Amino acid sequence: MLEKSQIVGSEKIVIFEKTSSQFNFDQLVNLGESLNDYEVVGYSPVYVGDRQLFEKVYEKRDNK
């Protein structure tokens, strides 16, 4: 998990609602997917108590 200060200034967006093709790290691990096939497309807020943290959001790479 990342602090807000770690993502400020990033070109990645904050994603409040993930689409069906977007996953967090735990979801990819549980699905048995390889991280090499995915790229970070943004960050999703997660609340731990009253602290707002952010987790990376992954989406399958476009292998053209």
Q: What is the pLDDT of residue 62?
A: 85
Whether 64 has a pLDDT exceeding 60, the answer reads no
Whether 57 has a pLDDT exceeding 60, the answer reads yes
Q: What angle do CA 12, 41, 48 make, to 5 degrees?
A: 80
Distance between start and end Cα atoms, the chain: 31
Over residues 4-52, the pLDDT tens digits come to 999 999 999 999 999 999 999 999 999 999 999 999 999 999 999 999 9
Q: Report yes or no: 45 and 52 within 8 Å, Cβ to Cβ.
A: yes
| Whole-prediction pTM | 0.89
